[in-house]
Amino acid sequence: MELDPQMFDTYKRYKAGTSKVMAWLASKLPESMQDRFSDGSTATSTVPKEPDHDLKPGKHIGDLCNRFAFLEIEEPTSWTSTAVSNKTNKPIYGYEIKKTEEDTSFAIYCLFKDLTDIRQYVRQTWAEYREHCITFTTAALVSNTAIALFRRLTREFVSEFPQFEDHGAIIKYCSPTPHDKDSQDFAIYTGGGVGLSSRTLFCHLTYEFLKNFFMAAKAPFYQEIQGVSFRLSQEEEMVFKCLSLLGLLAMGTKGDFYNDQLIHGLYTLKTENPGKKIYTWVVLAVQLLVDVHQVTGQRLEQCFQEARELQKWMSTTVRQSLQFNQTNDFVKLNSKSILSLEKRIDSVLKEDFMQNMLLSTLGDRAGQHFWGEFYLLRNHPMLLGLIVQSFLGEIHEIGITMSGDQGAILTTVHLYNALQRLGTISKNLVWTDVEKLISWQGPSLIFVGDRPENPRDCLVRHALAIGISVTALSRDQQGRPAARLAKNKKQPKLPLSPGKLRKLKLMSTYFWLQNEEYKTKGRSKGKRWILTRAATEPLVMLEMLVAKVLKEETVTTTRSNSKRPTHPKLDPLDMIRVFKDRLKSEEEIPLFDLLALNRRCVELLRKFQKICLDQSPLDYPVELYGGDGKLWTCVTGMMEGELGREHQQPTRVLEASSLVKELIENFGEEEYGKAKSRCFITGDCNEKVAEPFPTHDVPLLSERFILPT
C-alpha cells in the first residue's frame, strides 16, 4: 500500500522538528547538571544538599524569592472587617417541656397503679399466712420491703413533680369537684375486676389520721383525741393507739428499731420535715398496718402466740448451748455474747418492752397508755416478724460457727456416708437431718466435690474436709503413698494444713446476703462475718436477692452459650414476688436447730471415741486419739483400718455402725421435723389465695362530726 505523498511530507517535517528539540535538550543537560552539583558531589548522589522541589531547571536556590512580594495590600472591605472568633464549643441549650394536665394525671396514674399493685400483693401475702401457707416472718419481711419500695417510687415521682411532695396535694388534685357536674372520681385501679374510689386508692382517711393528730400533737397522742366530737370504729381506735405508741418508739430509737420501715417513716415525719408535710410513702406504710388487720382477722392473736412459742425455743436452745459450751474442750464460743443474746430475746419477746419504755418516759402517766400486755406487738405483726427474724439470724450464725469450728457435724456426715458405702448400714436407712444439711450446704462443700461412692474416696474426702493437705494424700508414679516421706529425715516435713477445717456456710439466702466474710490481709481475725448494706437497707437486700435468683435461673440456660447472660429487668411487683418466693422456699432453714444437731453429733463421736480408746487401745492410743479436739481421728483411723492398714485389734466399725443406726432410728428426723412444725404451716397452699380490697368507702373524719343537740 502506497502512502499519500502529502501525509509522508508532514511526517518528515515532524521528525525533523523532534530531532532539533532532542539536540537542544542534550546541549542544555551538562549546564543544568553542573549547576545542580556545584559543590563537587557526583551526579549519582541520592541525597541533594538543598531541597529541589521548588527549583526550576537551571535555577539556583539563591534565585528564589517571595512569590507574594509583588501583591498589593488593600484595606479590608465591610464584609471582611469582622474578626474571626476563636473556635469554641457550641452552647448546649436545654429545652424543658412544659408538663400538661394530661401528663400530670398520667404520672399519678402510673405511680398509684404500682403502689396499689404492691399493696394488693402484700394483702395477698398476709392472706396466705391467714390460711397457714407461709410463716409470719416471711409476710413481715415482704411488708417491710414493700414500704421501702413505696419510698423509692414516690421519691422518683416527686423529683419530677415537686408540687406533690405532700400527699394532700395529690388528693386535692385528683378529687372530684363538687360544683362540677361533669367531674368524675379518680377511680383508676381495677385490679381483680374491682374499681377503687379515690378515698380507698389514696388512703384519704389514713392521711387525715396523720395530718390532724400525729403531726399536730406530741407522741403519745391518743389521750388527746378523747374529747373530739366523732365516733371511731374498733379498727380506727387500734390505728390511733398503735400510731401513738409507734411515735413514742420512733423518737426513742431515732427511727431505727429492728429496721422497721414504718417506724423510720414516722420518725422522718417528726424530725426531717420542716414543712410538716405528709409523705405519700408514709401514708401507704400506715395503710399497710390497717390492711394487715383487715386481712388476718382472728389470726392476728395466733401470730403473737406463734412468736411466743419461737421465743421459748430460741431461749432454750441458746441456754443449752451455753451449758454445752462450758463442758466442751475443743472450741469455746464467747459465753458473754451467747448470754447477751438470751437476755435480749427475753427482754423483747418475753417482757413487754413497750410498757417499760412508757414507764421510763412518762412515769405516772404511763398507765393512761396501757391497753394490755404486748399491745403493740399483738397489733403490729410486721414488727413482731422482724424481731423474730433478727434473732433467728443470730442463732443461725452461732450454729454455723460452732458446727464449722468443731467439725463434729462434718465428721459425722462423712462417717454416715462411709458406713453406707462400706455396707455396714443400709442405704435405705436415711438420716433426714443430715441429708437436708447436705442439700442446703451443697455436696461440693461437704464432700470437697461430688458425693463419694467408694470407701477409699470417703477416706480421702474426709481428710480433705478436716484440713489434711492434698500432698499427704497423694501417691507417686509407682503408686506409693506420699506419707512414706515423713519417715525419711532427709526429706522435708509434709505440708499439713492446720486450721483449714472446712467452714459451713450460711444456708439461708437472706442471711447469706446480710453477711460477708470478714478478712484482714487474707486471714480472718476472730470475727467471721460483718454486716453488709443489705442487713440495714431493705432495697439493697431486694436488689441483691433478686439478682442472685435470676443468676441462678439463667446459669443453666447460658452454660452452653458463649454470650454474656442478660437478666430481664423486672418491675417492682415482679421483684417483690421473686423476693417472697425465695423466702418461702427457705422458711425451714432459719428454724432448723443447728445447735442441737451439733450437740447430738458431738455426743455420738464421744461415744465412739470411748469405745475405741477402751476396747482397742493398741490401735487408738489416748495421746493420739483422746480429747474433744481429736474426735475426728478415731473416724479416720477406723476407715484406714477397713481399707487395709494393719490393726492389732478390731477397727470398731461395727460399733460405729450400731451407734449411727440407733441415732438415726431415734432422732434421724428430729430437727427437721421440729423445724417444719415451727413454721406452723398446715394449710393446702396449692390454690392461689386472693384478698380483694373492701368495696365500701369509710366516711372521713370531717364527715362524721356529731352535731350538738
Residue 543 sits in which domain range? 509-558+565-585
Residues 6+ apart with CB under 8 A from 219: 244, 246, 247, 248, 250, 251, 270
Coil, strand, or helix at residue 213?
helix
pLDDT at 677 over 70: yes
Whether 513 is covered by a domain: the verdict is yes
Whether 266 is covered by a domain: the verdict is yes
Residues 6+ apart with CB under 8 A from 527: 518
DSSP state of 517: E
pLDDT at 291 over 80: yes
pLDDT at 52 over 60: no
Averaged pLDDT for residues 520-534 = 70
Q: Are 626 and 613 in contact (CB under 8 A)?
A: yes
Averaged pLDDT for residues 3-13 = 69
What are the pLDDT digits (tens) for 308-363? 999 999 999 999 988 887 766 655 666 788 889 999 999 999 999 999 999 998 88
Per the model's pLDDT, the better-predicted residue between 685 and 463 turns out to be: 463
- Number of separate domains in the chain: 2
Whether 470 is covered by a domain: the verdict is no
Q: What is the pLDDT of residue 489?
A: 42
Mean pLDDT taken over the chain:
83
Q: Residue 59: which pLDDT band, with cuts at 50, 70 and 90?
A: low
pLDDT at 16 over 60: yes
Whether 40 is covered by a domain: the verdict is no
Per the model's pLDDT, the better-predicted residue between 243 and 520 turns out to be: 243
Whether 321 is covered by a domain: the verdict is no
Q: Which of 33-37, 82-86, 157-161, 360-364 has the highest mean pLDDT?
A: 157-161
Whether 464 is covered by a domain: the verdict is no
pLDDT at 498 over 60: no
pLDDT at 268 over 50: yes
Q: In percent, how much of the chain has pLDDT > 90?
A: 52
Averaged pLDDT for residues 549-566 = 67
Q: Tell me the β-bridge partners of 481.
A: 475
**pTM (2 d.p.):** 0.81
Q: How many angstroms from the chain centroid is the CA of residue 623?
A: 48
What are the pLDDT digits (tens) for 610-641? 999 999 999 999 998 998 888 889 999 999 89
Whether 219 is covered by a domain: the verdict is yes
Q: What is the pLDDT of residue 363?
A: 87
Whether 170 is covered by a domain: the verdict is yes
CB neighbour class for 391 (10 Å; exposed up to 12, middle 13-18, buried from 19): buried
**Least confident span in 228-232, 642-646, 669-673:** 228-232
Q: What is the pLDDT of residue 82?
A: 58
Pairing relation of β-strands 529-531 and 515-517?
Answer: antiparallel
Closest CA to 433 of 450, 461, 409, 411: 409
Q: In percent, how much of the chain has pLDDT > 70?
A: 77
* Sequence letter at residue 56: K
